[in-house]
A = this chain, B = another copy of it.
Amino acid sequence: MATKNPLIISDKDEMRKWSRIMRSQGKTIGLVPTMGYLHQGHLSLIKEAQKHSQSIVVSIYVNPGQFSPNEDLSTYPSDFLGDIEKLKSIPGGVDVVFSPHNLYDYGDNRNNCGDDQEERGPEKGGKKVVSCVVDGGMGHETWVRVERSEKGLCGKSRPVFFRGVATIVTKLFNIVEPDIAVFGKKDYQQWRIIRRMVRDLDFGIEVIGSDLVREPDGLALSSRNVHLSPAERDKALSISRSLGEAKAAAEKGQVKCRELRNSVIQAVEESGGVIDYVEIVDQESLETVEEIKRPVVLCIAAWFGKVRLIDNMEICP
C-alpha cells in the first residue's frame, strides 16, 4: 500500500504559515486534535476529517492545562514514532503532524508546566482550580470557560479539565486555522463543549462529531486502556454491557432515568468498578433529565483499579 509521509511541524508560526499557504491555494484544512498514543478511534476521526477537507492536520500534544496536579499527566502514555507509523498507514494519509513542544511557554522562562511537580504547591486535591500550568508572573493567564456545560459530568471530579480543553482547542484553532475540526463522541461532554464554544466565540470552523469506536468485546477505545490489567479489562466490560442493556430497556419503553441509572450503577459496582458518575442528560444542553422525552445520552465515568474510564450511549426515544 502506498504510504504518505506527513510533514512534522513543531513551530506554531510555521504551522500557521503552512495553513495559510493551503488556504491561498483554495484547499480546505481539517484538524484532528489528539494527545497521541493513537488507536483505531483516532484513525476513525482522521477518516472522518478526510471526508470533509482536502488537507489534514493531526495535532499530537499532551496538554498540561487540562490535568490537575493530582492526575495522570506524568503517566499518560506516549509513542510518537509509533504514532507516525500508524498515520502513514492510513489510506490517503495526513499532510501534517503538528507536535509543539510547550504551548504555554512564551519565551520568558517564568512559566512552568509538566515537569515541575514540586512547584505546583499545596493545592493538591484542594478546592482552588489549579492545573499543571502554573499561573504567575508573566506566565499564561488566559482561560476559555464554557461556564455552564463545564460544571456537570466529568467537570465535577475534574475541575480544571474543560477549562484546559477549551483553552488548548482555542489555541490550536488559532494556530492551525482549520475549516473543520473532528472530535470523538467518546468524549461526549468535550464534543458538546467545543461545539458550544465555537458557537459562542464565533469561530469560522465547523466542528464534526465522530462516533465512538469499540473493541469487538465492547470496550470503548481509549489510550488509557493500556494501563488496565487483564483482570481489570475484563471487569470493565460491565460498562459497555450495562449501557447497552439500559439503552435497550429505554428503547422498549423504560423512560424513568432513575431506574436506568440504577441498573448501570449496580452492574458496574458488582463487577468491582468504582462509580464517578452515571447520568442521563439532554444531548445538547447536557442538563440532567428525569424522564426520557427527547434525545438523551447516558454517560458514565468509573474507576477500575487506577484507571478512570468513560463511556456513553445516545438514546433517542
Contact = CB atoms under 8 A, between A and B. Distances in A.
A181 B149 CA distance: 31
A142 to B, nearest CB: 4
A142 B145 contact: yes
A196 interface: yes
Interface string A96-121: 00000001001000000000000000
Interface stretch (A197-205, A223-231, A288-296): A197-205
Contact of A199 (B106, B144, B196, B203): B106
A226 B51 CA distance: 56
A147 B174 contact: no
A61 B245 CA distance: 52
A183 to B, nearest CB: 16
Contacts of A166: 142
Contacts of A127: none
Nearest to A172: B202
A159 B178 CA distance: 34
A171 B202 contact: yes
Nearest to A166: B142
A174 B201 contact: yes
Contacts of A103: 202
A66 interface: no
Given A24-B24, A204-B16, A204-B177, A141 B146 contact: yes
Given A170-B201, A201-B171, A148 B144 contact: no
One complex includes copies of this chain to the number of 2
Interface string A164-178: 001100110011010
A202 B142 contact: no
A143 interface: yes
A284 interface: yes
Contacts of A196: 141-142
A138 B285 contact: yes
A12 B145 CA distance: 23
A84 to B, nearest CB: 24
Given A174-B204, A202-B12, A203-B174, A147 B137 contact: no
Given A142-B196, A167-B201, A201-B174, A135 B106 contact: no
A197 B171 CA distance: 11
> Which 10 interchain pairs have the tightest Cβ spacing?
A142-B200, A141-B148, A174-B202, A171-B202, A142-B146, A142-B197, A141-B147, A174-B203, A175-B202, A140-B200
14 contacts: A12-B202, A23-B23, A106-B200, A136-B148, A138-B284, A140-B200, A141-B146, A141-B147, A141-B149, A142-B145, A142-B147, A143-B145, A144-B144, A174-B202
